[in-house]
Amino acid sequence: MGRMLKDKKNMLINRLKIIHYITDMSKQMSQMARQAHSPLLALLLDMVAKEGQSIINNSEGLGEDSTPTMTHNRQSVE
């Protein structure tokens, strides 16, 4: 029982680290998009930032659904 709780705690800690990393990268990409001198680069950086937020918003259990939302979005457009 103690081992199971420790494993769950480690999984939660790892999930929080991943969420923090994605959130931080999304913020950096958004900031870079605002400062970009190229409209295309700004668009791409903004898309990456939104993708990071989408991953966080759509993954309750991180790892349960490994299908990237960008792949899904691209397929729906085609």
- pTM for this predicted structure: 0.57
Average pLDDT over residues 52-76: 60
Q: What share of the chain is helix, strand, coil (3-state, %, to 5)?
A: 80, 0, 20
At 7, list the tokens: 């494993």
Q: Which of 28, 25, 13, 27 is nearest to 62 (CA)?
A: 13
List pLDDT tens digits, range 10-58: 988 998 898 888 888 888 888 888 888 888 888 888 888 888 888 888 8
